[in-house]
């Protein structure tokens, strides 16, 4: 019986440690409304510009009260004819509704990000989609 308790205790301890210290909770993709943004920086090879953009973008996402899924990406460099790898950064946000996404457009964190970073990009392309029910 003692031999059984020790491995059981270790298993419970490791599981509890992973829950409390380990894995960050992942946000589930909200299928109601997606907001996909592509940014082309003016100077994509400039490390200072990239750092400034990433810092401002992360600050914005950390303070957004409306966005659910928050994904920042860079081109995957997948060499297929139908793939556009010309952008510098992508942003994917999801919202529970179009109305909530409209509120996000006016929230201070979003407006501050635009003010701080708009001089760094030369182009922005947005694709908004609502989920099929």
Whole-number pLDDT of residue 16: 39
CA 71 – CA 53 distance, rounded (Å): 15
Q: Would you tell me the crossing angle of helices 98-106 and 108-117 to the nearest 10 degrees?
A: 50
Question: What's 94-118 look like in SS3?
Answer: EECCHHHHHHHHHCHHHHHHHHHHH
- pLDDT, residue 31, reads 80
Distance in angstroms between the alpha carbons of the first and the last residue of the chain: 54
Buried b or exposed e, range 37-55, using 16+ CB within 10 angstroms: bbbebeebeeeebbebbee
Average pLDDT, the chain: 84
Query: How far, in Å, CA of 114 to CA of 56, rounded?
Result: 9
The pLDDT-based confidence of 21 (bands split at 50, 70, 90) is: very low
pLDDT reading at 94 higher than 50: yes
Q: In this prediction, what percent of the chain has a pLDDT beyond 70?
A: 77
Determine contact, residues 87/78, Cβ cutoff 8 Å. Answer: no
**Could you say which DSSP state residue 46 is in?**
-
Question: Does residue 49 sit in helix, strand or coil?
Answer: helix
Topology classification of domain 33-130: Alpha-Beta Plaits (3.30.70)
pLDDT per position as a tens digit, 49-83: 999 999 999 999 999 999 988 999 999 999 899 99
pLDDT-derived band at 133 (thresholds 50, 70, 90) equals: confident
In tens, the pLDDT along 23-58 reads 444 556 678 899 999 999 999 999 999 999 999 999
Domains in the chain: boundaries? 33-130
């Amino acid at each position: 019986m003692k031999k059984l308790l020790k491995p059981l205790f270790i298993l419970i301890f490791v599981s509890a440690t992973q829950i409390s210290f380990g894995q960050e909770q992942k946000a589930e993709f909200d299928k109601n409304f997606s907001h996909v943004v592509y940014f082309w920086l003016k100077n994509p090879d400039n490390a200072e510009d990239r750092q400034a953009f990433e810092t401002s973008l992360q600050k914005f996402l950390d303070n957004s009260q409306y966005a659910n899924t928050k994904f920042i990406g860079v081109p995957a460099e997948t060499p297929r004819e139908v793939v556009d790898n010309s952008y510098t950064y992508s942003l994917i946000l999801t919202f529970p509704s179009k109305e909530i996404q409209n509120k996000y457009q006016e929230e201070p964190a979003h407006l501050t990000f635009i003010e701080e970073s708009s001089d760094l990009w030369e182009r922005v392309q947005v694709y908004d989609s609502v989920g099929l029910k």
